[in-house]
Every structure is written in C-alpha cells, then in structure tokens.
Chains A and B, each alone.
Chain A
C-alpha cells in the first residue's frame, strides 16, 4: 500500500477511501487533451477499473497537449496507446481500451459496465449522446469542454441533479460554433481542466467536499479568472433525453469534421469488429477488392439505396482516394446514419494491407 501512502495519511481518504477508489469503475470517453490528464491522475490514484474509448490515432499535432503520448505512440490508436502507458504507471489496476467510436448502438453496454462517465470528447454529437445515455442509465457525468484559452467543467446527472441539456438544451446549429478540434488551444489548458475533472471524479467516489453539480465552472487561462454559474434542473431537458428515439438519433448536428470524427485509417478500421465495408466507386472501376466481403453502391445511387446499409454495423466507406467516400459520409449523416467512417486511404492501400494480413 506504499504506492498510496500519501492518500492514506489524509483523514478524508484513509484505508477506507483508498479501498473505495480500488472498487470504482470509471469510463473515460476520449483520450485527447482532457482525457490524458484525467486518465493519468485516475490511474495514479488507483481507480480499480478504468475504461478508455477513442477511435482516433495519435498524431504529431496532439503531442503539444496530450501528454500521455510520446513520439513512440505516433500512428497508434489513442485508447491502446493510453493503456500501454497507463499500465506502466500503475500495473495494479485494470484498464480496458476500446479503440472505437462511441455510438448510440454501443453506448448502452459501455455505460452499464461503469459507475462514473467522464466526457472528454471533442464533438457535440458525442456530448449529447453521452448526456442522454447518462440520463437513461442514471450515471453521473464529469463533463468538461475547452475552447482556445477557456474551459467549462461540471458534474451532470449527479444525485438527481441537472444535466448537460439543462445548460444547453439542444445541439447548436450547424456552423454556429466550431465542432472541429482543428481550432487552436493553449497546450496547458486541457491539463488544467482535465485535472479538475479528475478531482471531481475522486470527490464523487470518496464522498467529500462539494461536487460541481448544479453549477458550471468557467475558467479563462488568459485572466486566470473563474466564474461559477448555477444551473437548475429542467424537466423538459430530461424528458427529451428519456424520449430516446427523438433524442438519440434525430437531434444531433450532422457536421462532419474531416480529420476527426468521420475518417478512419485502414489499420483502425480493420481492428473494429462488426463492420461492413462499402465501395462507393462505379462498378467498372479497378482495382477490385476481392479478398473482403463488401457492398457495392456507387455514390450516385447511394441515396436511393440507403436502406441497403445495415445500421447495426459500422459502415466503412471506401473509394479510389477517399474523396467520394467522404461525400458519402455526408449523405449518410444526412440520413442519420452516424455509425460510419470514410476510409482515409484509397482502395489500393486497403488491398495492400489485406494482402499483408493474409
């Protein structure tokens, strides 16, 4: 127990508190700027079971703020790379890495397996999905979001408290706010805000201090000012979430940010289970993909054949170079098919990769 001796000597924690931490199960959604510090502190603190979901890969532009990763992690899936680093930090706990995107079809089973959900995502679609699923399953969400030099932190859905929709009832209109993480951000900002999230997680488990429930904390790194704004529970917001079909499928904004949420690399695509590959090239186009079962729906026919797409599976759309597949994603999003990616590389690379694997 010497690993946790500095915790145990605190009267607020002690052996009992440390035991509570070791029994806790926390799911961190997104291993980006916010997820990295959250994961590090929760792992170091000895949270018994930590889950981490991220479908993205580590890119060099992430290293300025995503301090869990080094150059040796470049190109690796973030959840898997995080697990590797965290197991070195604390091999006594269990870490589950899920290298996939949180969708409304897989969210339910993930949420069921954990006590506390940490929202460290980078898009509104997933934020509303997390918020609604947390209401449906009655799980607290430790929320944070950042923009350039500013951050917001709150604990939603804690002991019957308000939820994300009580602050922001509906997803913003397309183009109204940036949904892309291509916006600049001061490297240390997610470090500060993510550490605040870790602090809230620990307080919830250890049951001391005051939880940031019913208030949203706004921090500005330029001025070092903090504003805490009170939030009341809105029953309308809750019923919106509980009316599952309306909120989980139709309500999200359908912007796609080409580098983040709608693209996937061949490597990551092949790691996913329950996928369906779809070729959106014209039937006559070469080279043909004959080593992998797939659907063929040329882009110009995609809208009229949209029902042929099995929405229970993750659709991986590919074409010659990744341009038509990206347009296809736009169409699918328009028809509320969220569980789909455009393959970053073209068909030739895919064939190459499959040949290596075979």
Chain B
C-alpha cells in the first residue's frame, strides 16, 4: 500500500523532509517503524509517538491508514 508519512520537529530534520510517500507491504505499525529505521538509521535512537489517520496509535496497531505521522515530544517554551 501507499502511505503518506509526515514528520515533525527533530524527526523531519533527520529525514530531511516533512512528508513523503512510501510504498510498503507492512501490516503493522511496528513493521513500518522497522522499515523507516532501515531507511533512516538515526531514527532508532529517537523518541516519538505515531499517529495513524490523525489519531495516536501504538506499536501494536494494525496498519490501515493512508496517513502516518511521527510526532516527537518538544521541550521548548
């Protein structure tokens, strides 16, 4: 399936883009993360939360969505 993946904050810096389309046969969020971590090795050391179709998901969630977002926590104020 084709997924639109959106990156925020520090994650967008390491992927060097804010959004991209990915062709993937993964069935779970965990597999997608695995795929992205191979594409962007420095992602492994980062903390982020995943959203699927604009809803916070967990690593066990089944991949159904068209849009995935990788949301890191921000500390700045």
Interface residues of A (CB under 8 A from B): 30, 32-35, 119-124, 127, 144-148, 150-152, 166-168, 172-173, 175-181, 183, 185, 190, 216, 218, 220, 223, 227-232
CA distance A27 to B6 in the complex (A): 34
**Chain A residue contacts of B74, Cβ below 8 A:** 145-147, 150-152, 177
Are B54's CB and A145's CB within 8 A?
no
Output the nearest chain A residue to B77 by Cβ-Cβ distance: A122
B49 within 8 A of A: yes
CA distance A30 to B51 in the complex (A): 29
CA distance A228 to B51 in the complex (A): 10
Candidates B49, B55, B76; contact of A181 at CB < 8 Å: B76
Are B71's CB and A229's CB within 8 A?
yes
Are A34's CB and B77's CB within 8 A?
yes
Output the nearest chain A residue to B10 by Cβ-Cβ distance: A177
- 10 tightest A-B CB contacts, nearest first: A145-B74, A172-B47, A122-B77, A230-B55, A147-B74, A146-B76, A147-B9, A176-B47, A168-B73, A229-B51
Interface residues of B (CB under 8 A from A): 6, 8-10, 18, 45-47, 49, 51, 54-56, 69, 71-77
- Please judge, given known A-B contacts A30-B77, A146-B74, whether A218 and B8 are in contact too, CB under 8 Å: yes
- Please judge, given known A-B contacts A35-B77, A124-B75, A176-B47, whether A232 and B18 are in contact too, CB under 8 Å: no
CA distance A150 to B70 in the complex (A): 14
Output the nearest chain B residue to A232 by Cβ-Cβ distance: B56
Show 28 residue pairs from A and B whose CB-CB distance is below 8 angstroms, ordered by the A residue.
A30-B77, A120-B77, A121-B77, A122-B77, A124-B73, A144-B77, A145-B73, A145-B74, A145-B75, A147-B9, A147-B74, A147-B75, A148-B9, A150-B74, A167-B56, A168-B73, A172-B73, A173-B47, A176-B46, A178-B10, A178-B76, A220-B8, A228-B54, A229-B51, A229-B69, A230-B54, A230-B56, A232-B56
